[in-house]
Amino acid sequence: MTNYVDWKFATSAGTRLVPPGPDVSPEEAVEAVEEIRALAGQAVEPVAATSRLRAPGDAPAPLVIDRRTWIEVNAASMSGMLDPAFEAASRRKTKEPSAAAQAVGSKITGAEAGGMLAFLSTKVLGQYDLAPEGDPALLLVAPNIVATERDIDAVPRDFRLWVCLHEETHRVQFTAVPWLREHLVTGARSLAGDLMPDSEALRTRLEQVTTQLPRVFSGDSQGLAELVITPEQRERMAQITAVMSLLEGHADVVMDDVGPEHVPTVATIRARFTKRRKGAGAVDRLLRRLLGLEAKMRQYRDGATFVRTVQDAVGVDGFNAVWTSPETLPTAREITEPAAWVQRVHG
């Protein structure tokens, strides 16, 4: 098998490049971690009551981690997700590169992956790690939560619980709906494998770069991946994006619906957090666009609109029909046309 990415080197590079977290004393760090862990437990019941979904009793508890651990976990997950695609691409090659070329190339791509992970590790507040080859778990990144609450001048306890409500919703989605994780992993792996072109296809796709580059910089795309995908692949990517929009939008709706009773300053937090998302610096906005994070922001908006519109039409139980099977997930068109989903699923 051709070694495309040296994931060990990516982890090493990422953990060296990652900037330090907020300035806190050891005592403050321990206190923050303990409170976030406790609030994650407090989020379970209100999320279950609001979403009418409940994680099974054997679902792993959330993990409160630092940035370096986030990089290590995500490097392992990316390896589990992408290595099967790399192996498939390797089998399509008529000539394997030399061992020396593989070693150098995998170090270069490993360094690039490490740099990307270092950047993202400073942005993520929480994540449900799908762990394609391991044990999935909910991750809460303590230094980023503390840095963000300071940045928007939020009441720490309120902001921490607000984040935990969002992330607990993701834990519920993937544990109360047992087929969902495998559905996403299989779809992402399939798309990744198809995105690995042979040399002839790569030449054709590289010709698309000059025409697609303005779209990437506009932020109206999935990032650099848009440069070398075909229309058919773009359609498949749009379907995966629709599911991600559903998940993120559902988590945003639940966290805000739970909020008024459990998070006294939720309205202030939401307003300041939304403003912060829009107020990134020029370099940060550029990186977000190249990595497709601008599209990620649209997922929250489109998904939340879908969830609220459907719940207004058929109630929470009617909305929860979305978790029945892969066939009841919204299509790329339906995520922005909720009435079409209601008509298809509920008649």
The Cα–Cα gap between 144 and 67 comes to 8
Q: How remote is the C-alpha of 153 from its chain's centroid?
A: 25
pLDDT at 103: 57
Nearest to 342 by CA among 251, 315, 239: 315
CA atoms within 13 A on the CB side of 292: 12
- For residue 195 the two structure tokens come to 């995105």
- For residue 43 the two structure tokens come to 């989020």
The Cα–Cα gap between 342 and 312 comes to 11
Return the beta strands (E) in 26-106 as ranges: 63-65
- Amino acid in the structure at residue 102: Q
The Cα–Cα gap between 225 and 272 comes to 31
The Cα–Cα gap between 287 and 122 comes to 13
**Residue 244: which residues within 8 A CB-CB, separation 6 or more?**
299, 303
- Amino acid in the structure at residue 115: G
Return the beta strands (E) in the chain as ranges: 63-65, 126-129, 137-141
pLDDT means per 10 residues, the chain with 347 residues, are 77 93 94 97 96 92 95 92 73 57 69 89 93 92 97 96 96 95 88 62 45 45 52 78 91 90 92 74 48 56 93 97 96 94 95
* Bridge partners of residue 128, in order along the sequence: 138
pLDDT at 215: 46
- Amino acid in the structure at residue 257: D
The Cα–Cα gap between 183 and 313 comes to 27
- Amino acid in the structure at residue 158: D
pLDDT at 155: 96
- Amino acid in the structure at residue 24: V
The Cα–Cα gap between 191 and 240 comes to 9
In sign, the C-alpha dihedral spanning 64, 68, 72, 77 is: positive
- How many Å from the N-terminal Cα to the C-terminal Cα in the chain? 50
Q: How many CB atoms lie within 10 A of CB 266?
A: 21
* Bridge partners of residue 65, in order along the sequence: 141
